[in-house]
Amino acid sequence: MKFDLDVNGRTRSVEAEEDAPLLWVLREDLGLTGTKFGCGLGQCGACTVHLDGNAIRSCITPVSSVGVGRIETIEQMTADAVGKHVQRAWLQLGVVQCGYCQSGQIMSATALLRENKAPQDAEIDAAMSGNICRCGTYQRIRAAIHAAAE
Ligand code: FES
């Protein structure tokens, strides 16, 4: 089937199976490889993108369910007011270790900070609980979210 998707502010037409995960459409058809595949089961958060501003797991989101929703990926965050602050804080605090999960972490952090400009630790932990980091950078992620909120 043909889908016209709103991705990072542009309409992108793709041919895909109805049940194709959005993750694979983004990576394979649109070349947006900043979004990562981790578990494929909606459990690790590596594939997090925004749909209408909300953090979603693209590995378990069929492309046919997106409709006219506005999709944003990590590639768009350099042009996003909040995303820019988040990425700057990530760099300043040296959050990244291996880096694999970090685009998903940044997408979840950006969605949080758009909703809540000064989140408390418990709110950060709740918002970020679906993003797993096998290097254990959680303390730096929390610090960077506080820094981006300032
Ligand atoms: Fe989507 Fe793990 S790859 S949640």
Instruction: Count the helix, strand and coil residues of the chain and give each as a percent rounded to the nearest 5.
Output: 45, 15, 40
110 C-alpha vs ligand 1 centroid, how far in Å?
A: 18
Domain positions in the chain are 2-75, 76-149
Q: To 10 degrees, what angle do helices 138-149 and 102-115 make?
A: 40
Q: CA 55 to CA 1: how far, in whole Å?
A: 25
> Same topology for domains 2-75 and 76-149, yes or no?
no
| pLDDT tens profile 65-110 | 999 999 999 999 999 999 999 999 999 999 999 999 999 999 999 9
Protein residue with least CA distance to atom 4, ligand 1: 42
State the pTM of this model: 0.97
Question: Candidates 1.20.120.420, 1.10.1060.10, 1.10.150.120, 3.20.10.10; correct CATH number of 76-149?
Answer: 1.10.150.120
Q: Which superfamily, per CATH, for 2-75?
A: Beta-grasp domain (3.10.20.30)
